[in-house]
Structure 1
Amino acid sequence: MKKLLLLAFLAHTTFSYSQTNLIQNGNLENWTSGQLNNWTLQEGNITQNQVEVTSGNSSALFIESATKPKIVASSYILESGKMYRLSFDYKVKSGSSSFGQQVISYKYGAADFDPYNSSSSIPQNFEWNTVNKEITPTTTEEWYFEISIASFINDDFEVYIDNIQIFDVNEPIPERDALVALYNATDGANWSDPWDLSTDYRTWNGLTFDENGKVSEISLFGQGMNGSIPPEIEDLTELKNLFIAAEENLTGPIPSEIGNLTKLESLNFFGNNLSGEIPSSIGNLSNLKVIDFQKNNLTGAIPSSIGNLPNLIRLNLRENELNGNIPPEIGNLFLLTTLDITNNELNGNIPAEIGSLSSLTALSLSNNELSGSIPPEIGNLINLESLWLNSNNLNNEIPDDLGNLTKLNVLSLFRNKLTGSIPDTFGNLANLNNLNLSINELEGNIPNSIWSLKMLNSILLDTNNFTGSISSDIGNLTNLYRLSIGQNDISGTLPNEIWSLTNLTHLQLNGLTNLNLWQIPETINNLTNLKVFDASYTNITGIIPDVLNLLPSLEDLLLQGNEISGNVPSSLSSLTNLRRINLSSNKISGSLPTINSTNISSFFITNNNLVFSDIEGILENYNTNIDYFNYSPQSKIDTEEVIVLNEGEETTLSVETTQNPNNLYQWRKNNVEIESATERSFTISNSSSLDVGAYDCIVTNNNVPDLALIRNKIILNVNVTLGIEDFDTAGIKAYPVPTKDQLVLSLGAINGEHITASLYGMLGNKVFEQKNLTDNQTLDFSYLQSGTYILKLQTNTKTYVSRILKQ
C-alpha cells in the first residue's frame, strides 16, 4: 500500500487573530478560475470547498491525482532573533480504516537551503486538527512555505487544508492581552478549565471569533472565576456578546471602560457578586439588546443614561441593592419587552413615562420601596402580559386603566397599601390567569365581573377588608386551582358551587369569622385534586366529615382555632400525600387514627380534649411516620369548682376525666406541689383557714411522656368564724345581681350591728373591704374584673356569706 505524506515547508510564527498574517490569502478564501489567489505555486488536483471549513467560507481540498497536490508561498522575510509561529488546520478522509496510521511530514527553512523535516502520526478521528510550530531564525533572510501530499496510497483520499497563518509572536496583540488580563484578574489558574496561555488564544474555551478573526463573544460559566473585570476589557473592540454568569464569583465594580465596547449587543453578568454602581458609560452602548445584571450586589441609582439604549429589548436588574428613583428616561426604551427590577431598594414613585414602553410584555418592580399611586399610564401598555408590583408601599386606589391590559396573564399587586375597591374594569381582563391582590387595604364587595374571568386559575384576595358575600357565579371558574379569600370581613354562606370546582388544589378560607360556614360539608369530596385546605379560625362547629379518603391529593389540612368536636376521622389514615395537619385549639376528643403517610412533616393537635388513652396507642406509629408531632398542651380536664367549708369540715378533691392505670398524679395548692398528694383523689380533713386556696392536679403518664394534663381549679374557702350563715337567714339583700359596677346592701336583721364587708376572689384573695357598713350602703365594684366573688359580712358573732357575679 502507498503512503500518504503531508509535506509542509514553512517559515512559521505564533498564530493570533489580531496579528498580521504574513501569508496572503492564508484563509483560502480568494479563488480565480479554480486557482488560489496570492500563492506562488499551485500543482495537482486542488479545488475550493465550502462545506468543510474552520475559518471563513472555504478551504482547499487536495485530491489524489497523477501530479501530487502542492501549494507554495515564498518570498517572506523572517528576521533574526524573532519568534514566529505557523499554524494550519487539516482534515483527512479516506476509505481505508488504516489510513489513520499514515504520517504527516512537513519541512521548513530558508529558500537557499534544504528545509527541516518534521513528522507526526495522523490522528485517526478524521476530524479537524491543527498543526502549530514555533521557530526562531538565526539570520534575517527569505523563507518559503509549502504544503504538499506525496507517496500516494491505493485508497481514495481527501485532505482538507484551511486557516494557514504565519505570525510574528513579538507583535503586540491587544485582544489577546485583554483576555490574559481577564484571565489573571479572575484567578484563571484555578478555573475549572483554565486557558493554556502558551497556546494560540483562538483555541481557548469560551471564545467565539468573527469572520475577521476578532473576538465577538465571550461565554464563560461554571469556571469558578474569582476576581474583578479588568479595564483592559475595552480592547475587545469587536465584542458583541459578553456572558460571564452562573456560579462565577466576579467581584468589585463594573468598569466604566465597558462603555467603550460600542458593538456590544448582549451584556450578561447574572449571578455574580459585583458591587458598586452601574457605570453611566453603559449609555454609550447603543447596540445593546440585552442587559442582565440580576443576582449581584450592585448599589446606587439606575443611571439615567440607560435611556440612551434605543435597541434594548431586555433589562434585568433584579436581586441587587439598587436604590433611588426609577429614572424617567427609562421611558425612551421603546423596544423594551422585559423590564425586571425586582428585589432592590428602589423608592419614590413609579414614573409615568413607563407608560411609553409600548412593546413591553413583562414588567416587574416588586419587592422594592416604591410609593405613591400606580400610574394610570401603565394602562397604555397594551402588550403587557405580566405585571408584578407586589411588596412595595404603593397606596391609593387601583386605577381603572389597568382594565385596558387585555393581554394580561398575571397581575400581582399583593403586599401594598392599596385602598378602595377592585375596579369593575377588571372584567375586561379576559386572558387573566393569576390575580393576586392579597395583603392590602381593599374594601367593598368583590365585583361579580371577577367571577366572569373564565381563564382565571388563581385568585388571591386574602388579608383585606372585603365585605359582602361570595357570588354563586364563582362556579364559572372551572379552571380555578387556587382560591384564597381568608382574613376578610366576608359574610353570608359559602356558595355550594365552590365544592364543584374540581380543579381546585388550594382552598384557603382562614380567618373568615363572619362567614356562616358552620361545618365542613361532605361535598368537599368532589375536590379530588385538593392539596391545601385551610379553614382555620372560621368558627366551624360539628365534626370533620369522614370522607377525607376521597381527597387523595391532600397535603395540608389546616383547621386550627375552631369549635370542631368529635373524633379525628379514620379516613385520615388513607391520605398518603399528607404533609401538614393542624387541628389545634378545637374540642376534638377520642382516639387518634393510625397514619400511613411517611411524608408528614408536622401534625399539631394541641389544646383539644385528648387524654392519655387517646394518644398512647398510636404514639409509636406517629413518631415513626411524622417528623414533628405536637400534642401538648391539651385543654384542662374536669370542671372548675368552688367549695365553701366551715372550719373543721372535710372534703375530697378528685380527677374524673382520666383514670388510666398508668397515670401519675400530683396535687397542687396555689401552684405549689403538695407533698404526698399523689393519688387520683386528695382529701382535706379538719379544714381550717390554712386550707383556703386554689387546688389543681397535674396528671402525667410515662407512655405519653410529653403531655401533662391539668385539672381545672377547685377553689376552696373555709369559714373560720363562730358561725356561718347565708344572707337569707338574716334577711340580707344584695342587688342588683349580677352587678355591673355598684352593689347595694340591705342589712335586714343585722342592721345596727358593727359590720365589716369583705369580698374575695375565687382563689381566696381579698379584693375589697368596707368597715362600719350601714344599711342600704352602695359598694363600688366598678374596678373589678368580671367573674364570681364571695361576699362576707362579719358581725361580732357571726359571718354571713353570699356569691356575687360581677359582669
Structure 2
Amino acid sequence: MGYLSYIYTLFFVLLYSHAIKQINSANLSQPLCTDHERLALLQFRQSFLINCAVSKSLSPYPKMKSWSSEPTADCCQWDGVDCEAKTGRVIGLDLSSSCIYGTFPKNNTLFVLTHLKKLNLAFNDFNYSGIPSEIGHFNKLQTLNLSYSSFSGHIPSELSKLSELYMLDLSNNGGSLADTQLDLKLQGAGLEKLLLNVTRIQKLYLDRVDLSSPVPNILSNRTSLKGISLQYCNLYGELPTSVFTLPRLEILYLSGNKDLSGVLPEFHSNSPLRELYLFGTSFSGEVPTSIGNLAHLEQLDLCSCHFSGSLPSSLANMTSLTVLLLSRNNFKGGVTFSITNLTKLEALDFSNLEVMPRELFSQLSKLHHLSYLRLAEMNLATEIPSFIANFTKLTYLDLAASHVIGPFPQWFANLTQLRQLYLEYNQLEGPIPHWFTRFTNLESLELSYNNLYGTFDVFLHLTNLHNLALSRLNLTFPVGYKTNSSPPKLEL
C-alpha cells in the first residue's frame, strides 16, 4: 500500500506541476502591447472623425470606437489590431470599413508601428488626402490595402521600397465608373519602377489608378503573380502575350482600357487561370481553339472588343464557366458550340451575336442557374421568350432592341427578383400590367419606345428605383399627382 500511495502522490505532483507550467506558459505568451504603440494608436484615432454616414462599405463597423484609453489597456486585444505573440509588437492593423473620415495628416503616429506586416484601411474616407510617403518606411509590410478610401494625387515612389510586399491594392479611389476623373496617379515609368523592387508580389490591384502608360514588360517576369487587376487605368499599347501565361496567374482584369490592344495566345491545359476580363479594350484577332484547354476558367468577359472569326466549338469544354460575356464583337457564324454543357452558368451575354432564335432558346432553357441574361440587339422577332419563365432567380434581364413583340405574358409576373430590366426599343404592346407593382426589387427599368400604355401610379410602388425610362409611351397620371410622390431613390 505504501508503494501504491507513493506512486499516486508522485502522479498528482507531476500533474499539478504540468498544469502550473501550462498556466505560466500561457501567461508568458500573452502579448501585451508596448506603451508607445498603444499611445500611437490612440493618437491615430484622434486624428479622424468616426462617421458611418459617409462610409462606402456595405457593412460599416467603427472598430476604433471600442479602443480603451485606460493606461492599463492592452491594445493587442483591440478590434482590428494584431500583435506578435512573443514581443507584443503590433504587426497587423485592419481598420477596413471602420467609418474613418478626415484628411490624413503628415507625420501621423501610425508610422510609429515599424513592425507592421499588414495594413488595411480600405472602405474609409480620407477626404482625397495624398498617400503618405512614410508608408515606404514599413519595410516589413507584406499586404497594403488602401482601396475605396478617397486617396488622391501621385502615388509616392517610396512604395517601391516595400520589397516584402505580396499584396498591393490601391483600387477605386476615384468616383464611380461613370466618372472619368482618376484621382490617384502612377504615370510614366511609375508602374515599372514599382514592379522592379516588389519581386514577391502575388496580388496587384490598381483599378482606376491613372497609369497612362503601356504595360511594362517586367510584368511578364513577375512569376509570383496570382492576381492582376488594372481596369480603367488609361493603359495603352500592346499587352505582352506572356502575361496570359504567367505560371501562377489565376485572375487577369484589364477591362476599360480602350487603347490597350493585344491578341489571345495559345492556352495550355496546365494554366491555373480562373477569371479573364477584357471588356472595352482593343483586343482583336480570333479566339483560339485552345481556349478550351482552360479547364479552371470560371469567368470570361470579352465584350466590346474587336474579336473576329468564329466562336470555337471548344468553348463547350469549359464546364467550370459561371460567367460568359461575348457581346459587341465581330464574330461570324453565330453560336456553334453546345451551350447545354455549361450547366454552371449564372451570367450570359450573347447580345449582337448572329443566332437562330429557336435553336438558342432550346439550349438556354436547360440552364437552370442564370441570374444575368443579355440578349440585346438581336433579331429575335418573337414574344418575350417563354423559356425565361424558368429563371425565377433572374436579377438582370436585357432584351433591348431585339425585335420583341406582343404583350407582357402573365408568367412574367413571377420574376420578382429582377433588379435591372431593359426592354426599350421593341414592339411590345398593350397595357403595362398592374402586377408590375410586385417588382419591388427593381433598381433600373427601361421601357421606352414601345407601344405600351398605362397609368404612372404603377411605378410609385417600386421604392428601390434609381433609374426609370418611359419615353414615347402612352401614360396617364393620377389626379393630384405631385413630383414628390415619385419613388424616393429615383435619380434619373
Same fold (TM over 0.5): yes
CA 225–370 in structure 1, closer or farther in 2 if over 3 Å, else same: closer
CA offset digits 1:667-719 (Å, max 9, x no partner): xxxxxxxxxxxxxxxxxxxxxxxxxxxxxxxxxxxxxxxxxxxxxxxxxxxxx
What are the residue-to-residue correspondences of 1:275-674 with 2, within 5 Å? Answer: 278=155, 280-282=157-159, 284-291=161-168, 320-325=184-189, 326-327=191-192, 330=195, 335-402=200-267, 406-471=271-336, 473-486=338-351, 488=352, 490=354, 492-494=356-358, 495=360, 496-512=362-378, 515-549=379-413, 551-568=415-432, 580-588=444-452, 598-599=462-463, 601=465, 604-608=469-473, 610=474, 615=476, 627=487
CA distance in 2, matches of 1:232, 1:626: 49
- Confirm or deny: 8 A CA contact 1:360 1:381 kept in the other structure: yes
Correspondence 1:215 to 2:92: no
The secondary structure found in structure 1 opposite 2:211 is strand
For 1:768-807, what per-residue CA distance to the aligned partner results, in whole angstroms no more than 9, with x for missing partners? xxxxxxxxxxxxxxxxxxxxxxxxxxxxxxxxxxxxxxxx
Q: Tell me whether 1:254 sits opposite 2:123 in the alignment.
A: no
CA deviation after TM superposition for structure 1 residue 455, in Å: 2.0
Taking structure 2 as the reference length, the TM-score comes to 0.70
The CA deviation string for residues 28-77 of structure 1, in whole angstroms up to 9 with x for no partner, is: xxxxxxxxxxxxxxxxx9x964424686359xxxxxxxxxxxxxxxxxxx
Q: 1:393-440: per-residue Cα shift (whole Å, max 9, x none)? A: 344442223566732221100011222232222222222222111122
Aligned with residue 56 of structure 1, among 28, 38, 56: 28
Change (3 A) 1:373 1:401: farther
- Cross-structure match for 1:633: none
Q: Is the 8 A contact 2:396 2:419 kept in 1?
A: yes
Task: Give the Cα–Cα distance (whole angstroms) in 2 for the partners of residues 493 and 190 of structure 1.
Answer: 57
Give the Cα–Cα distance (whole angstroms) in 2 for the partners of residues 398 and 500 of structure 1: 33
C-alpha distance in 1, partners of 2:308/2:263? 12
What is the distance in 1 between the residues matched to 2:110 and 2:456?
Answer: 69
Instruction: Measure, in 2, the Cα distance between the counterparts of 1:475 and 1:263.
Output: 50
Preserved CA contact (<8 Å) 1:182 1:230? no
The 3-state SS of whatever aligns with 1:401 is coil
**Match of 2:363, as an amino acid?**
E
Query: Are the aligned partners of 1:573 and 1:594 in contact in 2 as well (CA < 8 Å)?
Result: yes
- CA distance in 2 between counterparts of 1:563 and 1:189 reads 56
1:259 and 1:372 mapped to 2: Cα distance? Answer: 30
1:448-480 CA-partner distances (Å, limit 9, x unpaired): 222432222222222333333233622322222
Report how far residue 566 of structure 1 moved: 4.2
* Mapped partners of 2:238, 2:333: distance in 1: 26
1:485–1:229 Cα change, 3 Å: same
Structure 2 CA distance, aligned partners of 1:542 and 1:467?
29
Aligned amino acid, residue 105 of structure 2: S
- Asked if the contact 1:356–1:380 (Cα under 8 Å) also holds between the matched residues in 2, the reply is no
Give the 3 Å change call, closer, same or farther, for CA 52–482 of structure 1 in structure 2.
Answer: same
**Structure 2: gaps spanning 5 or more residues:** 1-16, 51-63, 175-181
C-alpha displacement of 1:519: 3.4
For the 8 Å contact 1:439–1:462, the answer to whether it is kept is yes
With over 3 angstroms needed to count, the CA separation of the structure-2 counterparts of 1:333 and 1:560, relative to structure 1, is: same
Conservation of the 8 A alpha-carbon contact between 1:265 and 1:287: yes
> What residue number does 1:25 align with?
none
How far off its partner does 1:368 sit?
0.3
- Structure 1 gap ranges (5+): 1-44, 59-161, 164-174, 298-317, 631-807
Supply the distance in 2 between the matched residues of 1:336 and 1:505 (Cα, whole angstroms). Answer: 35
Structure 2 contact 192–218 (Cα < 8 Å) conserved:
no
Tell me the distance in 2 between the aligned counterparts of 1:506 and 1:530. 6
How many residue pairs match? The answer is 441
Matched, 1:228 2:105: yes
Calculate the TM-score normalised by the size of structure 1. 0.46
Whole-Å separation in 2 of the counterparts to 1:194 and 1:594: 47
Choose between structure 1 and 2: higher helix proportion: 2
8 Å contact kept, 1:442–1:465: yes
Which whole-Å CA distance do the structure 1 matches of 2:120 and 2:437 have between them? 52
Matched, 1:245 2:159: no
RCO greater where, 1 or 2, for CA within 8 Å and sep 6 or more? 2
What secondary structure sits across from 1:547 in the alignment?
helix
Distance change >3 Å, CA 553–CA 215, structure 1 → 2: closer
Q: Secondary structure at the match of 1:483?
A: strand
Whole-Å Cα distance in 1 between the matches of residues 133 and 251 of structure 2?
A: 33
CA distance in 1, matches of 2:431, 2:161: 72
**Inter-partner Cα distance in structure 2 for 1:454 and 1:603:** 37
Q: Which moved more, 1:363-372 or 1:334-343?
A: 334-343
Aligned-residue CA RMSD (Å): 4.8
Q: Which has the higher Rg, Structure 1 or Structure 2?
A: 1
2:76–2:90 contact (8 Å) kept in structure 1 = no
SS of aligned partner of 2:276: strand
Deviation string 1:334-363 (CA, Å, 9 cap, x unpaired) is 543212121101122222332233332211
Distance 1:252 1:418, change over 3 A: closer
**CA distance 1:622–1:567, shift in 2 (3 Å):** farther
Deviations 1:492-523 (A, max 9, x none): 435232233232222212222xx243433434
Shift of 1:329: 6.9
User: How many Å apart are 1:600 and its aligned residue?
Assistant: 6.7
Structure number with higher strand proportion: 1
Distance in 2 (CA, whole Å) between partners of 1:470 and 1:294 is: 36
CA–CA distance in structure 1, aligned partners of residues 151 and 460 of structure 2: 50
